[in-house]
Chain A
Amino acid sequence: MRFLLLFSRQGKMRLQKWFMPLTEREKKKVMRDMMMLVLARPPRSSNFLQWRDLKIVYKRYASLYFCAALEEHDNELLALEVLHRYVELLDKYFGNVCELDIIFNFEKAYFILDEFLMGGEVLETSKIAVGVSMEEADTLQEQTMEEYMSKPAY
């Protein structure tokens, strides 16, 4: 996978994970192109597109579009499963996840993603294991933040 983007129907970026080095300008261009391409697709079209030399796989979940860019040899159908698994992980963690959860807790969304994917490849194939790691990491974080006065409403 080269990058993973989450954006709303209105074109607001909610999460961007890049697995290849690009400058800020290039990233902005890519995001614009992706949004343009994906948001223009009619409702019942296939989830695959060709863009430059990459295969784009996108799926809409409620108000969010999940968009991943694959290389030539990647399996598109499996990528759909990867996106679905990520949504499941978010759902498990936040409990009935919605876009607002991802907006207000974006770092958590990133942390969950980092437990699931790394370097563009799937890291952990077990649903349960990701949840367990997140819990433990969160506990560790809570412990080290106890000394602070204002406990944030995570």
Chain B
Amino acid sequence: MSPSIPLQEMIRAIRSARTQCEERGVIQRECAAIRAQFRQADNGARSHNLAKLLYVHMLGYPAHFGQMECVRMIASPRYSEKRVGYLGAMMLLDEKQDASLLITNSIKNDLSHSNQYVQSLALCTLACMGSAEMCRDLAPEIDRLLRASNSYIKKKAALCAVHIVRKVHELGELFAPAARSLLTEKNHGVLHGAVVLITELCERNPEALERFRKTVPDLVQIMKGLVISGYSPEHDVAGISDPFLQVRILRLLRILGRHSETASDAMNDLLAQVATNTDSTKTVGNAVLYETVLTVLDIKSESGLRVLAVNILGRFLLNNDRNIRYIAMMSLQKIVGTDHNAVQRHRGTIVDCLKDHDASVKRRALELSLALVSASNIRSMMKELLLFLSSCPPELRAQTASGIFNAAERYAPSQRWHIDTILHVLTTAGGDVRDETVPNLIQLITNTSELHCYTVHKLYRALLTDISQQPLVQVACWCIGEYGDLLLKGECQETEPAQVTEDDVLDSLETVLQSHMSAPATRGFALTATMKLSTRITDNVDRIRSIVSIYGSCIDVELQQRAVEYNALFKKYDHMRAAVLERMPVIEKNSLGQTNGESAVEAIKAVQPATVKQGEPPLPLQPANQVCDLLDLLGGSEEPLQPSSVQSGTASGLPINNSSTAGGDLLDLLGGFEPTPAAPAPAVTVYEKDGVNLTLLCEKHSDSGLTVTLTASNSNDSDISSFTLQAAVPKSVQLHMKAPSGDFLPARGAAKVTQMVVLNNPNKVNLKMRVRISYTSQGSACQDTVQIDSFPGL
């Protein structure tokens, strides 16, 4: 058994080891010696051995065999051993280890030790690694110490209580009274601990927050004392008296004043005082100012104070110290939503920070700049952002690119600007953009038909310069394929036309096809574009043919398939080639998602007419709108009920509903038949307003069918014209509105208008009908809705 060496010698030995291997050797020897020593009975060098072990542990070597030794040392009566034992416990034991429970008893005993330094060891260890059970066990002890001990122990007990509350939230209640009373102490350490404890209690428990609001005046008093007081050597840091305590008080005030007008008022003056009087030449002063600003912006402060706070942040932005600028931008980021205009005033400085060399500052400046983009500053901001993109660190590229895209989408002053911007981003940072950029850009381009010529010219030029940025190349190929004829025409309004020949264009596409830089998807784009050009150019079709046939034996399966299909298009289906390769229609965004909107309507109109579904019953309104609610038919778009667009309305829910193009009579819900005379029977008035009177008459004509006659009259002094009725019924009921007798209601009931509605209720549901009345009276249009729940005669 080798003799153990004193701690410092061991450290020297380890440090002088020249290789990792040598070091390991030394350490292994020492650990063996230490283990042996641990096994021995009490000897004088126990604390040294544990200290050696802790050093070894800090270097990263395993030291778990020291855990039990820690437990033993803590239980020792000697302070020197306790000290190292507790240190070992804090370093080697944590709440996840079983051995940690073994020290609970020792801690308990030491908490009541006569010597405050022993007590302090126990408190410190409990606050460092105390598990929830230990905390529960020892909480009453801590509470006792909070009330009755000297300041040295009180301050430690306070922070220990903080740890306990973090581990076991319910115990917060236990410490609340003691915390309150600690605020009257003079000792700064105790005060600080008390403020931290109260902060913790208030953050966790809203009731506690309410109760502690009453302490606001006391806190303001303490703070005032610190700010105004004279020089105190003990607590002074660069002219600020106890900045640590000041900052904690400010933070507590923030929490207490957050949702309370009264509390905020009480601290208003103090905050103004601190904001104006604190010296901001050193970091410590700025730390206090920073916390003040955060508090002012978070509580219900008066506007003058808020302006003061934002101005402080503005001053921070101009500070030479990078840290201060960073802090300022972080705070501005938090308020850019609520105090947008105030932050906008500092936009210039923020944009300048984009050019800062520090990566953290750049990141903050980027986020803030993106938040400040608005319709009025979009052009200048975009210039700066694009400049930033070309020189920004790679980790910020993706964020910048997507931020630019979002901003461009929201505030683009013109289509051409939008396209230019996106192209610029693609050329500068094409590799970092999101995947959906390519389809988005393509859609944008198709939508701006007047700029097709311009776009294809620009993209062609970009393609000539650089084919490494895949998204750009993909979009360029697509455009050339689509609008290649515009490129070849040799005239363009927006930009200088390119004098290219068909060969040039085909050359550029072939370069993309053959380049090793092109991704498989990009080559697919290029091949398809080449194929499309076969209908848009005149002379070099043979060349295209040969390109396409070469790729028929390409190794890439996708390309091969495309080539083979295009080949077939040349050979067998040449008559269809023009139709297949014609210009793409405008792509609607999310056209797959919508079910009842105009876009679906257009899509259907573009579909080839197909066979009519035979024997289609009069389509009930139900499948027409997939939402199929009584309300939607009259509350939503009017189309479904107007005779003219009845086809689109009913077709919107069923994209493959081909009967839309077949005769409208199957679906003519509002017109077509001769009006039948009103059937006699008691009529019920269902609507009476503004002189318009509507009565209803029901007549059952079969088991589930009935005819409802609505009669309208006008008792006003003026005529009513364009009188129309629309009706909607529950899902399973079928409704068929016949043509009204007219739409003119002369004044004073001179004549009436009748409307017959045939209903079929096969499921015998509770019959309800909602009727919308629209008319024009004295030059103004009127509309009203009435719901009919009972049908007499049913």
Contacts and interface: CB of A to CB of B under 8 A. Distances in A.
Interface of A: 12-16, 18-19, 21-23, 28, 42, 44-50, 73, 75-78, 80-82, 85, 103-104, 106-107, 110-111, 114, 118-119, 121-129, 133, 136-137, 140-141, 143-145, 147-150, 152-153
B8 A119 contact: no
18 contacts: A14-B58, A45-B322, A45-B357, A45-B359, A73-B251, A81-B244, A103-B15, A104-B8, A107-B84, A111-B87, A121-B159, A123-B159, A123-B193, A124-B155, A128-B233, A133-B152, A137-B117, A144-B81
A47 B286 CA distance: 15
B156 A152 contact: no
A144 B78 contact: yes
Interface stretch (B26-34, B124-132, B575-583): B124-132
Contacts of A77: 283-284, 286-287, 290, 323-324, 327
B115 interface: yes
Contacts of B7: 152
Interface centre among A128, A133, A140 (most CB of B within 10 A): A140
Contacts of A19: 128
A144 B287 CA distance: 43
A23 B79 CA distance: 29
A150 B117 contact: no
B360 A123 contact: no
Interface in B231-287: 233-235, 237, 242-245, 247-248, 251, 283-284, 286-287
A75 B189 contact: no
A119 B162 contact: yes
A107 B196 contact: no
Contact of A119 (B159, B233, B237, B357): B159
B234 A127 contact: yes
B244 A78 contact: yes
A133 to B, nearest CB: 7
Contacts of B129: 21
A9 to B, nearest CB: 15
Contacts of A76: 323, 327
A110 B325 CA distance: 33
A101 B783 CA distance: 89
Given A125-B189, A125-B235, A107 B87 contact: yes
Interface of B: 6-8, 11, 15, 44-45, 47-48, 51, 54-55, 58-60, 78-81, 83-84, 87, 90, 94-96, 115, 117, 120, 123-124, 127-129, 152, 155-156, 159-160, 162-163, 166, 188-189, 192-193, 196, 233-235, 237, 242-245, 247-248, 251, 283-284, 286-287, 290-291, 322-327, 357-361, 363
A13 B323 contact: no
A127 B129 CA distance: 26
B44 A126 contact: no
Contact of B48 (A75, A104, A144, A152): A152
Nearest to A14: B58
Please report whether the interface of chain B is mostly helix, strand, loop or mixed according to DSSP: helix
Contact of A110 (B87, B166, B242, B286): B87
A52 to B, nearest CB: 15
Mostly helix, strand, loop or mixed at chain A's interface? mixed
Contacts of B128: 19, 118-119
A133 B322 CA distance: 37
B119 to A, nearest CB: 12
B582 to A, nearest CB: 52
Please name the 5 residue pairs, one residue from A and one from B, whose CB atoms are nearest each other, closest first: A77-B287, A148-B44, A46-B322, A119-B127, A118-B159
A129 to B, nearest CB: 7
Given A133-B152, A145-B80, A122 B124 contact: no
A126 B96 contact: no
B127 A118 contact: yes
B163 A119 contact: yes
A126 B287 CA distance: 18
A127 B358 CA distance: 33
A141 to B, nearest CB: 5
Contacts of A126: 188-189, 234-235
A141 B79 contact: yes
A122 B192 contact: yes
A80 B283 CA distance: 8
B44 A147 contact: yes
Contacts of B51: 107
Contacts of A23: 96
Given A42-B357, A48-B323, 16 more contacts: A18-B94, A45-B357, A49-B360, A77-B286, A78-B244, A81-B283, A81-B287, A103-B15, A107-B83, A107-B87, A118-B127, A118-B159, A119-B159, A128-B234, A150-B6, A152-B7
Given A21-B95, A77-B287, A125-B242, A45 B155 contact: no
Given A48-B323, A125-B235, A81 B360 contact: no
Contacts of B357: 42, 44-45
B117 A107 contact: no
Contacts of B123: 118
